[in-house]
Structure formats: C-alpha cells, structure tokens
Amino acid sequence: QVQLVESGGGVVQPGGSLRLSCAASGFTFSSYGMHWVRQAPGKGLEWVAFIRYDGSNKYYADSVKGRFTISRDNSKNTLYLQMNSLRAEDTAVYYCAKDMSGSGGSCPDYWGQGTLVTVSS
C-alpha cells in the first residue's frame, strides 16, 4: 500500500531554514510526480510545489517562489522541501502527496500525515 512519511518539521526562528523529507513506499516512486501542500492552523489547504517524476520540471506557488526548493532522490525514494528565509506565515502542517501521473497533468491522490513547521521567535 502507498505510504508517505514526512519528517523534519519543528520550530524555527524567522529568517531561518528547514529541510523537510518525505519517505515513499508501496509504489514506483520514480514514475510519479510529487507535491508539497501546506495547511496553516485552522485554515484551508494551500498548494506549495510540484516536481515531475524525473525532477526535470518544478513549479512553485508565488508565496514561496525564490525561498523554497523542491527536490527528489529517486534512488532513495525520498522527496524534499528546502525552506529558506522562513516567515511567520509559513507556519503550517506540510503534507507531501503523490500525483496520479508522472508529469503533473493530474491531481494528488495519496497524502502523508504531515509534519508541523512553526516559525516563531
């Protein structure tokens, strides 16, 4: 069965950095695009970033463009999100999610349980 396990969340000061990881299993990781989606406390879902199955294309929400970098290591079945210049408004639960396709023409289907990032001094 598909399993996605996020890690790396925690408390960080404004302006700081954090790297999230998402360990994938139960499917051929190298064949599917992957997303990061976040949810601020008590708020709705916000799409953050997408990476194609082979890492050749990456897309970002305007709110994180230039600060966050999505990447993947298909040899380790792991997705990453490097977050720099963090702001209070980046505080959220961060979910990784598998796309239904490799190139991103579809939608997220399976989701991890999320990891909480808190940006606070």
With beta carbons less than 8 A apart as the criterion, state whether 18 and 12 touch: yes
In the complex with another protein, the residue whose CB is nearer, 108 or 119, is: 108
CA 59/CA 106 separation, integer angstroms:
14
Asked if 72 interacts with another protein (CB under 8 A), we say no
**Which of 11, 40, 88, 107 is the binder for another protein (CB under 8 A)?**
107
Asked if 55 interacts with another protein (CB under 8 A), we say no
Tokens 């999505």 appear where?
A: 70
User: 61: which 2 tokens?
Assistant: 């929400």
Q: Which parts of this chain interact with another protein (CB under 8 A)?
A: 35, 37, 44-47, 50, 57, 59-62, 95, 100, 104, 106-114
